[in-house]
């Protein structure tokens, strides 16, 4: 089975507790070691004091021996935990207290050395001892003072227990606190998720509620709402496109079907049949054209069109397009002119951009009155190259301007179809311009006349800084 | 002239057969890739029309194997409009020309004619139908004793129609071969129509027999008498 990461709040709490635990563990260990060290130092200080005071009990006797002046010191309370042993230089014991009787005797050669501390074990009890030599009445004796470590170890043990029990408790409390805090902090996200789940494809117009627009969650919600808005727009676009496309496809199909059915109804002359079939073929042609164009646009949408950009002179391109469409303008006594004072270069896919310009100019010819003029102005504007197609047509109403580049958008349905238009010319133009890194826009004055403006990144010409 | 059509879609095969038979070619249909390969390898054909999207053995495989066996019969491949890579691959593998589905019948016939004509001297300096005469060297056109005043484009258009005289010429063919545009588009269709109208006014001026005919939904044809 695959391990599934738990929720963020559990993970947050986990990490938080682990880090806290590690920090506290280091802190507790250091404390414990310091206290323990301090306690043992104190014990050794006490042993040192014991040693010095015990020296006072040793007195030389008249017979040249050394004796333990018992009567001068007796403290029965300490008998259990303290011991003093004294040996003469020759190893004869001079005094051995009760408590320390169990301890092994001192190895005499060692006693000649400097005073030393050591730990001894006897009858399951641990002792700390200080052994040293001292002179009593000019004679050397070996003396060992001992103290039991039991009480000290018990104290250190208690501290250890307090630390060892307290640490998990503190961590556990912190974890609970952390978990509650994390839950509190993350609750709005859960809330957000619940709200977002409610918004399905059918309810895209709904938005998430923003509690505090200034905090992180508020900003996140705003971003999500923004995404919903775009999603809604593209759903709407798709819906409209699907409806338009099926309408456009259905129209020729209806015509074909109608002609076929009418032709078969009665016997007709060969010329009539030919006319009918020809008419059907025209519609087939229209359908083919439509499907091809849609296919190209969908390639464009999918970004699978391979471009071959090269630096070209837009003025030359404008003249080329004008030359190829001049015949259409002539038919309507329109003047088609290119205004370009100098070459303006842009790095684009020539064929794709030419198609864009062709469609825009064709559109201008189509909608301009007889005898009017259409200008293609090529100019450089800083680092931008601008192709403006200016006509003297009726202009485009403000409400249509936003949609003029949409697929299948037509201001005048019947007129465009009569000219064999698919309603995709300007959509193709927009795609062709944008895929070349440019923008296309339209301006129109209330008095009439439209300007289609294609703006492209300009390529610097030799020896010129743009 | 024997032509082998390797096509699995029955209706498309029928259209091809009836179109080619009308032009008096001897047509054999192979409905599968295996059959097509077998026939192309064993029998003698002047041309193979090969669909690239075949069940079983793909058209590209057949083409490759035929060329490896030095069967040099001209091959015209049929591809879908979105299969650009297949098209390029097919030409690389030794196909002589290609057609994109859905294709127009006049276009098929034109390609077939061109492929069958290949390798034969086709240098002509004069084209003629009825009393219309084109001098390709002097770039002059005459209708009877009337000299036609044609623009460069009109001359090219008329030359193309004369070269295909008696055969249908589609707008696609004109867009590609006369206007040399890679793609047919609505503006270009309109340009072609206007150009054709002007040419017709000059060629078929009042009083002379009509030579340029429009075939509705298909294209144009240049011939004496009714199409």
**CATH 1.10.10.10, chain B: domain bounds:** 126-222
Quote the mean pLDDT of chain B: 87
My answer on whether A352 and A402 are in the same domain is yes
My answer on whether A278 and A315 are in the same domain is no
My answer on whether A291 and A358 are in the same domain is no
My answer on whether A222 and A340 are in the same domain is no
Residue at a domain's end among A114, A136, A156 = A156
Residue A176 lies in a domain: no
Cβ-based contacts under 8 A for chains A and B: 60
pLDDT-derived band at A466 (thresholds 50, 70, 90) equals: very low
Q: What is the CATH number of domain B126-222?
A: 1.10.10.10
Q: What is the pTM of this model?
A: 0.64
Is the domain B2-117 a CATH 3.90.920.20 member? no
Residue B186 is nearest to which of A324, A351, A422, comparing CB atoms?
A422
- As given in the structure block, the two tokens for residue A213 are 């627009």
Q: Which of A131-145, A172-186, B120-134 has the highest mean pLDDT?
A: A172-186
Q: Locate the chain A residue with the closest alpha carbon to B196.
A: A327
Residue B81 is nearest to which of A292, A358, A421, comparing CB atoms?
A292
pLDDT value at residue A293? 86
Residue A151 lies in a domain: yes
Mean pLDDT of B148-152: 91
pLDDT value at residue A73? 54
Residue A196 lies in a domain: no
pLDDT-derived band at A441 (thresholds 50, 70, 90) equals: very high
Mean pLDDT of A346-371: 92
* Predicted confidence (pLDDT) at residue A390 exceeds the cutoff of 90: yes
d(CA A230, CA A208): 14
d(CA A407, CA A237): 9
pLDDT digits (tens, 9 = 90+) for B54-70: 876 788 888 888 888 88
**CATH 3.40.50.2300, chain B: domain bounds:** 2-117
Query: How many domains, chain A?
Result: 3
Interface of B with A (CB under 8 A): 81-82, 102, 179, 182-191, 194-195, 198, 215-218
| A275 shares contact with chain B (CB less than 8 Å) | yes
My answer on whether A142 and A20 are in the same domain is yes
My answer on whether A36 and A141 are in the same domain is yes
Q: Report the residue of B190, B218, B221 to disrupt the A interface, i.e. the one with the largest count of A CBs within 10 Å.
A: B190
Quote the mean pLDDT of chain A: 84
* Predicted confidence (pLDDT) at residue A132 exceeds the cutoff of 80: yes
Full domain range(s) for residue A263 = 216-302
The answer to whether the CB atoms of A355 and B186 lie below 8 A apart is no
User: What is the percent of chain A with per-residue pLDDT over 70, rounded to a whole number?
Assistant: 91
- As given in the structure block, the two tokens for residue A226 are 């923004």
Residue A426 lies in a domain: yes
| Least trusted range by pLDDT, from A9-18, A20-29, A72-81 | A72-81
Q: Which helix (H) or strand (E) holds B31?
A: none
Identify which has the larger pLDDT, A67 or A309.
A309
Q: Which of A129-138, A247-256, B84-93 has the highest mean pLDDT?
A: A247-256
- Provide φ and ψ at A55, rounded to 5°: -55, -35
My answer on whether A229 and A343 are in the same domain is no
Q: What is the CATH number of the domain that holds A81?
A: 3.30.450
My answer on whether A232 and A147 are in the same domain is no
Residue A398 lies in a domain: yes
| A419 shares contact with chain B (CB less than 8 Å) | yes
pLDDT value at residue B226? 64
My answer on whether A151 and A17 are in the same domain is yes
Given a contact cutoff of 8 angstroms between Cβ atoms, the answer to whether B9 and B98 are in contact is no
Which pairs with CB-CB distance under 8 Å and at least 24 residues apart come from A86-90? A86/A54, A86/A58, A86/A141, A86/A142, A86/A143, A86/A144, A87/A111, A87/A141, A87/A142, A87/A143, A88/A139, A88/A141, A88/A142, A89/A139, A89/A140, A89/A141, A89/A142
* Predicted confidence (pLDDT) at residue A1 exceeds the cutoff of 60: no
My answer on whether A328 and A225 are in the same domain is no
pLDDT-derived band at A51 (thresholds 50, 70, 90) equals: confident
My answer on whether A12 and A151 are in the same domain is yes
ipTM (interface pTM): 0.74
Residue B186 is nearest to which of A274, A327, A421, comparing CB atoms?
A421
């Amino acid at each position: 089975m695959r391990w599934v990461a738990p929720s963020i709040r559990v993970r947050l709490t986990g990490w938080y507790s682990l880090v806290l635990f590690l920090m506290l563990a280091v802190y507790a260990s250091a404390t414990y070691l310091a206290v323990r060290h301090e306690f043992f130092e104190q014990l050794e200080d006490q042993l040192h004091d014991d040693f010095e005071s015990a020296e006072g009990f040793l007195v030389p006797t008249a017979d040249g021996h050394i004796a333990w002046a018992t009567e001068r010191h007796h403290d029965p309370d300490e008998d259990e935990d303290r011991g003093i042993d004294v040996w003469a230089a020759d190893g004869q014991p001079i005094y051995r207290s009760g408590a320390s009787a169990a301890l092994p005797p001192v190895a005499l050669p060692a006693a000649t050395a400097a005073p030393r501390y050591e730990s001894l074990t006897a009858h399951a009890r641990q002792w700390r001892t200080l052994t040293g030599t001292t002179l009593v009445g000019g004679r050397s004796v070996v003396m060992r003072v001992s103290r039991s470590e039991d009480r000290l170890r018990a104290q250190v043990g208690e501290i250890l227990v307090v630390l060892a029990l307290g640490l998990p408790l503190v961590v556990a409390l912190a974890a609970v606190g952390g978990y509650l805090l994390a839950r509190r902090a993350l609750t709005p996200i859960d809330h957000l998720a619940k709200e977002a789940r409610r918004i399905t494809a059918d309810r895209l117009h709904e938005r998430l509620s923003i509690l505090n627009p200034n905090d992180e969650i508020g900003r996140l919600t705003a971003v999500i709402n923004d995404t919903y808005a775009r999603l809604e727009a593209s759903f709407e676009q798709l819906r409209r496109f699907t409806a338009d496309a099926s309408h456009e496809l259905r129209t020729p199909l209806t015509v074909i079907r109608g002609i076929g059915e009418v032709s078969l109804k009665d016997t007709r002359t060969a010329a009539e049949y030919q006319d009918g079939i020809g008419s059907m073929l025209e519609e087939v042609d229209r359908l083919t054209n439509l499907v091809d164009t849609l296919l190209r646009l969908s390639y464009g949408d999918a970004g699978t069109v391979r471009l071959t950009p090269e630096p070209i002179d837009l003025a030359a391109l404008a003249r080329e397009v004008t030359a190829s469409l001049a015949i259409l303008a002539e038919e309507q006594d329109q003047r088609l002119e290119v205004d370009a004072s100098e070459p303006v270069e842009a790095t684009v896919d020539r064929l794709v951009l030419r198609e864009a310009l062709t469609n825009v100019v064709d559109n201008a010819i189509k909608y301009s009155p007889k005898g009017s003029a259409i200008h293609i102005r090529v100019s450089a504007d800083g680092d931008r190259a601008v192709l403006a197609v200016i006509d003297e047509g009726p202009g485009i109403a403000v409400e249509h301007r936003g949609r003029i580049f949409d697929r299948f958008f037509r201001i005048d349905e019947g007129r465009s179809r009569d000219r064999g238009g698919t309603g995709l010319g300007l959509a193709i133009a927009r795609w062709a311009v944008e895929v070349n890194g440019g923008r296309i826009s339209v301006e129109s004055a209330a008095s009439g006349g439209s300007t289609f403006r294609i703006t492209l990144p300009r390529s610097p010409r030799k020896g010129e800084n743009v | 002239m024997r032509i082998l059509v390797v096509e699995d879609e029955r209706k498309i095969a029928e259209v091809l057969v009836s179109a080619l038979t009308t032009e008096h070619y001897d047509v054999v249909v192979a409905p599968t890739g295996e059959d097509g390969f077998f026939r192309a390898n064993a029998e003698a054909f002047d041309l193979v029309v090969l669909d690239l999207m075949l069940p079983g053995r793909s058209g590209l495989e057949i083409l490759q194997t035929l060329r490896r066996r030095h069967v040099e019969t001209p091959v015209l491949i049929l591809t879908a409009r979105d299969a650009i890579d297949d098209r390029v691959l097919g030409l690389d593998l030794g196909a002589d020309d290609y057609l994109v589905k859905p294709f127009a019948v006049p276009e098929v016939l034109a390609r077939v004619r061109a492929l069958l004509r290949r390798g034969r001297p086709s240098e002509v300096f004069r084209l003629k139908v009825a009393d219309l005469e084109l001098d390709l060297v002097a770039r002059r056109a005459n209708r009877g004793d009337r000299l036609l005043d044609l623009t460069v484009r009109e001359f090219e258009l008329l030359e193309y129609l004369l070269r295909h005289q008696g055969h249908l010429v589609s707008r696609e063919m004109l867009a590609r071969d006369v206007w040399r545009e890679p793609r047919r588009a609505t503006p270009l269709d309109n340009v072609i129509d206007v150009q054709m109208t002007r040419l017709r006014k000059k060629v078929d001026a009042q009083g002379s027999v009509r030579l340029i005919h429009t075939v509705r939904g298909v294209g144009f044809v240049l011939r004496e008498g009714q199409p």
